[in-house]
Chains A and B, each alone.
Chain A
Amino acid sequence: MLSVKHNESVTFTEDMLGKFAEIVRRYPEGRQKSALLPLLHEVQAEFGWLSVSAMDKVAEYLHLDPIEVYEVATFYTMFFLQPKGRFNLEVCRTGPCCLVGAERIMTHLEEKLGVKEGEVTADGLFSWRGVECLAACGYGPVLQIGPEYTFYENLTAEGVDELINELRKKAEGAKLDADS
């Protein structure tokens, strides 16, 4: 797991810092470590993943040793220690969803996107992975997309195609907006 230290500078915006302060106030004095998970979610929502520099910065903000942050970030599956596609599609792969075809959805995604689980498409737009039970067993197969964890239920292959097209359009639209 040993990776080279990234030294790129990470800046937390005023907005983020305001949100951080609000979160830290939820806990008793001296218990600011409790804010670690919420803060990591915020940071990941902003940057798309958790670089070492970002984690170090969180450690500094909460007065923790950096290793305490690494320990936590590597324990929980929602935190990405590598960049992901802009849309990271997470399909539930646990029993009840498999009973209603989750495995077929994952095979379909792999074919459709042309990348294996965990890999990012060449355009940087998509990545996908199987995740464990999302507590939506009655609506399976399901997938979610962070950072707001938008939920898509009762998936079919056609539905997945449609979703991917929609997301592509959304990305193109955003690109046009940015260009103009």
Chain B
Amino acid sequence: MARKLLLTHIDIPGINTFEVYRQKGGYRAVEKALKTLTPDDVLEEVKKSGLRGRGGAGFPTGMKWSFLAKPEGIPRYLVCNGDESEPGTFKDRYLMTHIPHALIEGMIVSSYALGANTSYIYVRGEMMPQIRILEKAIAEAKHAGFLGKNILGSGFDLELFVQPGGGAYICGEETALLESLEGKRGNPRIKPPFPAVSGLYNCPTVVNNVESIAAVVPIINDGGEEYAKIGVERSTGTKLISAGGNVKNPGVYEIELGLSVEEFLYSDEYCGGIANGKRLKAVVAGGSSVPILPANLILKTLKGESRLMTYESLADGGFQSGTMLGSGGFIAFDEDQCIVRNTWNFTRFYHHESCGQCSPCREGTGWMEKVLHKIEHGHGSFSDIDLLVNVAKNIEGNTICPLGDAAAWPVASAIRHFRDEFEWHVTNGAEARQRNYGLANYADPLEPVV
């Protein structure tokens, strides 16, 4: 049985309440940190843990914290990113719904480490039930003396608030989130300055994902070194993976980083294989933004090695034959799914969610969507496929924020790996409207690629 750090007590009735959470050892990390550790000690433990941002970028959390500017007399802020909107990802919703106190506890310890006396949890507006859950949890924690003035007699004050979003994927980008939290349109800021220097209200700010913050709790309880023992290479600890699409048992799973993709996908402890006895066609492993891979490449790397659920292994082969762990939104496509249709769907998403601030993303996402729609509906030409590749290239890397890349990668990777399916839509337009292309040569079980 794999070790669990975040979801250890997930099945215990009432774990969403302060009382039960506390009985099960909750808020020990707050006690330990505030009573026995200095803020720098906490930072040290997080650094030692090797924890990497769980929101998608995978930037080392300890390093991010150490960049925080600390000028005298200016408040610092910790903002938790609970905007979870990346298609395929639903782990933060799960965590906030079932163990809200894990997040609250993480926020207290992290705020202490960063010297923040006011912290915000920004949750996407659609998660109104989760916002209510968090507000209740905050009230409980406050009532028990874990929030407010002079927490546990340590002299540390913290006020914690939940902020609702308004419906915008872009607010998952940290500077857009800060704009939104300031009551503005969610237009990403032009960096530099980075939030660590000038973030919320122009003050030094750290923005961390829900899961990253929650992971600070076991890191403080057991020590950073203990946390770093789990996992492989620079992928330490456990990670919540959201399994969706055509898997047999969709849901949120906590895995030890280093688990093989094959085991995650086929063992009954996790996804349990593909639903309805069908075969696997493709996987988007880290949320819709990361490159899609055909079944043979997701299970084994081009070198023939078993692919692991780690930042490094999933990226093996670069974008030619690899992908990214991203936010851990694992979407499986069965043999009956149409890659062209899905690429169009994802691109429509990015078009819909583009903030419109910079030209390549504003114009390019809509353009790609129209071309994909045309191909999907059987009116495309071969040159349209090349056009898509070129437009994606013109967007990638040329925008203010990563949404441009996130829109370009799914298109580029789908054409890279499934070009024959796109071409079939061109040559067999009428047929493509009636039926799907099917598996072709992508499916498991695996044949060596090289």
**Which residues of A line the B interface, CB within 8 A?**
26, 28, 31, 33-38, 40-41, 62, 68, 71-72, 75-79, 93-96, 98-100, 131-140, 144, 146-151
Q: Which residues of B contact A146 (CB under 8 A)?
A: 128
| 7 A–B contacts from the bound complex (CB under 8 Å) | A37-B166, A75-B166, A94-B345, A95-B342, A96-B87, A132-B349, A133-B349
For the complex, give the distance between the alpha carbons of A53 and B395 in Å. Answer: 40
Query: When each residue 342-366 of chain B gets 1 if its CB lies under 8 Å from chain A and 0 otherwise, what string results?
Result: 1001100100110100000000000
For the complex, give the distance between the alpha carbons of A116 and B190 in Å. Answer: 40
For the complex, give the distance between the alpha carbons of A41 and B251 in Å. Answer: 30
Is A95 a contact of B288 with CB atoms below 8 Å? yes
Q: Beyond the given A33-B182, A99-B245, A132-B87, could you list 7 further A-B residue pairs with CB under 8 A, ordered by the A residue number?
A: A37-B163, A41-B166, A95-B342, A98-B345, A99-B334, A131-B126, A137-B250
When C-beta atoms are compared, the residue in chain B nearest to A151 turns out to be B129
Q: Known: A138-B242, A138-B251. Contact between A148 and B128, CB under 8 A? A: yes
Is A99 a contact of B333 with CB atoms below 8 Å? yes
Q: Which of B89-97, B432-440, B441-449 contacts A (4 or more CB under 8 A)?
A: B89-97
Q: Known: A40-B166, A99-B342. Contact between A31 and B201, CB under 8 A? A: yes
Query: Which residues of B354-387 are within 8 A (CB) of A?
Result: 355
Q: Which residues of B contact A138 (CB under 8 A)?
A: 90, 242-244, 250-252
**Which residues of B line the A interface, CB within 8 A?**
75, 84-90, 92-93, 118, 120, 124-129, 159, 161, 163-169, 180-186, 201, 242-246, 250-252, 284, 288, 329, 331, 333-334, 337, 341-342, 345-346, 349, 352-353, 355
When C-beta atoms are compared, the residue in chain A nearest to B91 turns out to be A135
When C-beta atoms are compared, the residue in chain B nearest to A133 turns out to be B87
For the complex, give the distance between the alpha carbons of A96 and B164 in Å. Answer: 24
Min CB distance B273 to A, Å, is 15
Is A139 a contact of B250 with CB atoms below 8 Å? yes
Min CB distance A122 to B, Å, is 27
Q: Which residues of B contact A147 (CB under 8 A)?
A: 128
Of B75, B186, B246, B284, the residue contacting A76 (CB under 8 A) is: B186
Of B88, B168, B169, B201, the residue contacting A95 (CB under 8 A) is: B88
Is A133 a contact of B183 with CB atoms below 8 Å? no
Is A96 a contact of B244 with CB atoms below 8 Å? yes
Is B164 a contact of A132 with CB atoms below 8 Å? no
When C-beta atoms are compared, the residue in chain B nearest to A76 turns out to be B166
Q: Which of A75, A136, A139 has the most CB of B within 10 A?
A: A75
When C-beta atoms are compared, the residue in chain A nearest to B122 turns out to be A37
Of A33, A37, A150, the residue contacting B164 (CB under 8 A) is: A37
Is B128 a contact of A140 with CB atoms below 8 Å? no
For the complex, give the distance between the alpha carbons of A78 and B166 in Å. Answer: 5
Is B250 a contact of A72 with CB atoms below 8 Å? no
Q: Known: A78-B166, A135-B124, A137-B88. Contact between A99 and B337, CB under 8 A? A: yes
Is B126 a contact of A134 with CB atoms below 8 Å? yes
Min CB distance B286 to A, Å, is 13
